[in-house]
C-alpha cells in the first residue's frame, strides 16, 4: 500500500453509529464489526478524495500527536486487507 | 458476562415471514409440523416487531422463511427496515423474484440478497428442490450482482451433492460470487427426518474440505468461501446461536419468539408470541429466553469445563434430539458421556450404502401426514 492511495469505503459495507452499543459499527452481509473510537475516527475521514497520507496528517494535527500518523497508516493497511476499503483508480 | 438476569441486546433478528415455499428441499430446517402453524403476522404486526427490536439494539435483520418472496408486502417491510437503520439481508431461493423485483428491493433499501442453490448441476438441483428452478436461479444470481448487491451464494451440502464441491465452486466463480457459503446440513426439522439419507460419509467430508481449502487459497481476495464443517464429525460442538438468548432472536411466521429457529421442539417452553407480549419482555423476562442463558443451567461436564465460554455447551436442540434432554452437553463434544453413542450412530448411517428409504420432500401434504402419524 502506498500512502498516496486514495480509498473509499467498500460499498458492500456500511458505517453506522449504534446507540445501543455506544459505538460505531461496520455492517456487511450477515455480519458486524464493532469499532474502537480511533478506527471509527479514521473511517469517518475516508471520502474517496483524501489520500492515506492526507488523512494521517489531518488526524495528527487534530489530536496534536505525531505518533497518530503511523497508527493511521497501519490501520489502512489492515482495513484494506480486511476488504473494508477499495482503492480509487 | 451473560447471566439469566442480564442480557445484551438481540443484535440479530431473524424474521421468518412465512412457511410457504414453492420448493421442497428434503433438508429444510423448518419444523415438520409447519402445516399446523400456518397463520402469519400481518404487515403492521411485523412492522411493530421491527421497530421494537431495533429500539433494543437489533442491527442485523434477516428476512427468511419458508420463502420470504411469497409475502407480497416484502417491499414495505424492507423499506421500513431500512428507515429504522437495520442492515437487511434477504435469504431466498430466488423463486418468486424477477428483475423488476430485485430493483424494487434495491430502491426500498435492501442491503444484501443471499441466493441458495441446491446443487451445481441442473438435474440434481431440480430433483432436490422438486422444481425446474435452476436456470431461473442462475438468472437471479446474475441480476443480484448486476444491480450492485454483494453476491452471496449458499449451498447446503449432503450425501448427494458433497462430491461436487469443485463444480459448485467453479459455478460460483463463473457467476462472480463475492461470498460462497458451503454449509453441511444441520439435522433439524426435515433434515433430521431425512438424516439417514443425507449424512455424508467421513471420507466425503474429508475430501470436500480439502477441495474447499484449496479454493480458499487460490481465490483469496477474490471470492470468500465459508466452509461450515459438519459438526457430527468434530469433537467439539459449535457455539450454537453464540449462546442461547445471547444475540439471536427468531420470530416465526405466526409471531412465536424463539431463541433459535428450531427451539419449538424443546419440551416445556412457553413459546411467547409477539401478538401478546412485547419483544422487550420476551427477550429480558420470558422464562424461555432465560432457560439456557448464561452458564447457570449447565450440568456436568459443561458446568466445570474451562471451554464453556467458547461453545456454551453446544446446541440445545441437538442435545435434546440425541440424548433426550436439552440441558445435557451436546454429544458432539467428546467429553459428553453420550459421545460414543453418537459415533456409533454415525458409523451405522455410514454403513448404509444405498438409501433404502426414499427422501421425504418438504411440503404441506407431507407435513400433515407426519402430524397425523405422531398425534
Ligand atoms: S430449504 Fe428449500 S424448502 Fe426449505 S424454505 Fe428453503 S427453499 Fe424452501
Ligand atoms: S464439556 Fe461442554 S463446555 Fe466443555 S467443551 Fe464440551 S460442550 Fe463445551
Instruction: Please give the pLDDT value at position B57.
Output: 93
Number of domains in chain A: 1
Q: How far is the CA of B200 from the centre of ligand 1 (A)?
A: 20
For residue A43, being part of any structural domain is answered with: yes
Residue B107 pLDDT greater than 90, yes or no: yes
Nearest to B59 among A11, A27, A29 (CB): A27
Number of domains in chain B: 1
Q: Per mean pLDDT, which range of A8-17, B23-32, B208-217, B282-291 is the poorest?
A: B23-32
pLDDT bracket for residue B6 (50, 70, 90): low
Instruction: Please give the pLDDT value at position B292.
Output: 92
Q: Do A32 and B11 touch (CB under 8 A)?
A: yes
Find residue A87's DSSP bridge partners: A7
Q: Which ligand is nearest to the CA of B308?
A: 2
- Domain holding B311, by residue range, is 10-374
Instruction: Please give the pLDDT value at position B312.
Output: 92
For residue A58, being part of any structural domain is answered with: yes
Write out pLDDT tens, residues B232-284: 788 899 888 889 999 999 999 999 999 998 898 898 999 999 999 999 999 99
For residue B1, being part of any structural domain is answered with: no
Instruction: Please give the pLDDT value at position B353.
Output: 59
| Averaged pLDDT, B23-33 | 80
The per-residue DSSP string of chain A comes to: --TT-BEEE-TT-EEEEETTTTEEEEEETTEEEEPPHHHHHHHHH--SSSBHHHHHHHHHHHHT-THHHHHHHHHHHHHHHTT-EEE--
For residue A66, being part of any structural domain is answered with: yes
Q: Please indicate whether residue B137, judged by its CB atom, sits closer than 6 Å to ligand 1.
A: no
Q: Per mean pLDDT, which range of B82-96, B330-344, B348-362 is the poorest?
A: B348-362
Residue B123 pLDDT greater than 80, yes or no: no
Alpha-carbon B362 to chain mean position: 15
- Domain holding A28, by residue range, is 7-82
- Across B24-172, where does the E strand assignment appear? 60-64, 87-92, 112-117, 151-157
Half-sphere exposure of B6 toward its Cβ, with a 13 Å CA cutoff? 3
Highest mean pLDDT among A9-13, B36-40, B77-81, B257-261: B77-81
For residue B174, give how far its alpha carbon lies from the nearest alpha carbon of chain A (Å).
20
For residue B3, being part of any structural domain is answered with: no
Q: What CATH number corresponds to the domain at position A50?
A: 1.10.10.1150
pLDDT bracket for residue B363 (50, 70, 90): confident
Q: Which helix (H) or strand (E) holds B141?
A: helix B134-146
- Is residue B62 a contact partner of residue B15, using CB atoms and an 8 Å limit? yes
Q: What CATH number corresponds to the domain at position B132?
A: 3.20.20.70
Q: Please indicate whether residue B26, judged by its CB atom, sits closer than 6 Å to ligand 1.
A: no
Alpha-carbon A38 to chain mean position: 9
Nearest CA in chain A to B63: A30
Q: Per mean pLDDT, which range of B16-20, B34-38, B273-277 is the poorest?
A: B34-38
pLDDT: which is higher, B196 or B299: B299
d(CA B240, CA A37): 30
Instruction: Please give the pLDDT value at position B150.
Output: 82
pLDDT: which is higher, B99 or B27: B99
Write out pLDDT tens, residues B153-185: 998 888 888 888 888 899 899 988 888 999 888
Instruction: Please give the pLDDT value at position B184.
Output: 83
Residue B360 pLDDT greater than 90, yes or no: no
| Averaged pLDDT, B37-56 | 94
Q: How far is the CA of B216 from the centre of ligand 2 (A)?
A: 29
Q: Do B178 and A12 touch (CB under 8 A)?
A: yes
Q: What is the distance in angstroms between the CA of the first residue and the CA of the last residue of chain A?
A: 13
For residue B266, being part of any structural domain is answered with: yes
Of the candidates B158, B157, B190, the residue with the CA atom closest to the CA atom of residue B262: B190
pLDDT bracket for residue B358 (50, 70, 90): low
Q: Per mean pLDDT, which range of B112-116, B296-300, B360-364 is the poorest?
A: B360-364
pLDDT bracket for residue B375 (50, 70, 90): low
For residue B181, being part of any structural domain is answered with: yes
The verdict on whether residue B260 carries a ligand-binding annotation is no
Q: Is A82 on the interface with B (CB under 8 A)?
A: no
pLDDT bracket for residue B362 (50, 70, 90): confident
What's the whole-model pTM score?
0.88
pLDDT bracket for residue B356 (50, 70, 90): low
C-alpha cell belonging to residue B56: 433494543
| Averaged pLDDT, B335-342 | 90
For residue B110, being part of any structural domain is answered with: yes
Q: Do B59 and A29 touch (CB under 8 A)?
A: no
pLDDT > 90 fraction of chain A, expressed in percent and rounded? 28
Q: Report the mean per-residue pLDDT for chain B.
A: 87
pLDDT bracket for residue B219 (50, 70, 90): confident
Q: Which helix (H) or strand (E) holds B262?
A: none
Instruction: Please give the pLDDT value at position B230.
Output: 73
Write out pLDDT tens, residues A5-34: 899 998 888 999 998 889 999 998 878 899
- Is residue B133 a contact partner of residue B94, using CB atoms and an 8 Å limit? yes
Write out pLDDT tens, residues A42-75: 999 998 899 999 998 888 888 888 888 888 999 9
Amino acid at each position: 500500500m502506498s500512502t498516496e492511495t486514495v480509498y473509499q469505503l467498500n460499498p458492500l459495507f456500511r458505517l453506522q453509529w449504534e446507540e445501543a452499543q455506544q459505538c460505531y459499527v461496520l455492517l456487511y452481509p450477515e455480519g458486524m464489526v464493532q469499532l474502537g473510537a480511533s478506527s471509527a475516527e479514521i473511517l469517518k475521514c475516508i471520502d474517496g478524495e483524501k489520500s492515506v497520507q492526507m488523512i494521517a496528517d489531518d488526524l495528527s494535527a487534530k489530536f496534536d500527536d505525531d505518533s497518530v500518523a503511523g497508527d493511521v497508516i497501519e490501520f489502512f493497511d489492515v482495513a484494506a486487507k480486511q476488504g473494508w476499503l477499495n482503492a480509487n483508480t | 458476562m451473560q447471566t439469566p438476569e442480564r442480557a445484551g441486546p438481540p443484535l440479530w433478528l431473524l424474521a421468518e415471514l412465512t412457511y410457504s415455499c414453492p420448493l421442497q428441499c428434503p433438508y429444510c430446517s423448518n419444523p415438520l409440523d409447519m402445516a399446523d402453524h400456518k397463520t402469519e403476522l400481518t404487515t403492521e404486526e411485523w412492522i411493530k416487531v421491527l421497530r421494537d427490536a431495533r429500539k433494543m439494539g437489533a442491527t442485523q435483520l434477516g428476512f427468511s422463511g419458508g420463502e420470504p418472496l411469497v409475502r407480497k408486502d416484502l417491499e414495505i417491510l424492507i423499506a421500513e427496515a431500512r428507515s429504522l437503520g437495520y442492515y437487511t439481508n434477504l435469504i431466498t431461493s430466488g423463486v418468486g423474484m424477477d428483475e423488476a423485483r430485485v430493483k424494487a428491493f434495491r430502491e426500498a433499501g435492501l442491503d444484501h440478497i443471499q441466493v441458495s442453490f441446491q446443487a451445481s448441476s441442473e438435474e440434481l438441483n431440480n430433483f432436490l428442490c422438486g422444481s425446474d428452478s435452476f436456470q431461473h436461479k442462475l438468472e437471479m444470481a446474475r441480476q443480484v450482482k448486476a444491480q450492485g448487491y454483494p453476491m452471496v451464494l449458499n449451498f447446503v451440502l449432503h450425501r448427494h451433492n458433497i462430491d461436487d464441491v469443485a463444480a459448485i465452486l467453479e459455478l460460483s466463480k463463473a457467476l462472480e460470487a463475492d461470498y460462497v457459503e458451503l454449509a453441511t446440513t444441520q439435522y433439524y426439522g426435515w433434515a433430521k427426518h431425512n438424516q439417514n439419507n443425507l449424512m455424508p460419509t467421513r471420507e466425503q467430508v474429508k475430501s470436500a474440505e480439502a477441495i474447499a481449502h484449496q479454493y480458499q487459497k487460490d481465490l483469496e481476495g477474490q471470492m470468500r468461501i465459508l466452509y461450515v464443517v459438519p459438526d457430527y464429525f468434530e469433537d467439539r460442538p459449535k457455539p450454537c446461536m453464540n449462546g442461547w438468548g445471547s444475540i439471536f432472536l427468531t420470530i416465526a411466521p405466526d409471531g412465536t419468539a424463539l431463541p433459535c429457529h428450531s427451539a419449538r421442539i424443546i419440551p416445556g417452553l412457553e413459546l411467547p408470541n409477539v401478538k401478546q407480549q412485547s419483544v422487550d419482555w420476551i427477550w429480558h423476562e420470558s422464562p424461555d429466553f432465560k432457560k439456557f442463558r448464561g452458564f447457570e443451567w449447565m450440568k456436568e461436564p459443561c458446568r466445570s469445563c474451562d471451554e464453556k465460554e467458547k461453545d456454551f455447551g453446544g446446541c440445545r436442540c441437538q442435545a435434546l434430539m440425541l440424548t433426550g434432554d436439552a440441558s445435557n452437553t451436546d454429544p458432539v463434544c467428546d467429553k459428553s458421556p453420550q459421545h460414543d453413542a453418537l459415533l456409533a450412530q454415525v458409523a451405522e448411517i455410514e454403513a448404509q450404502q444405498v438409501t433404502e428409504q426414499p427422501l421425504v420432500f418438504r411440503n404441506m401434504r407431507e407435513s400433515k401426514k407426519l402430524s397425523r402419524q405422531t398425534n
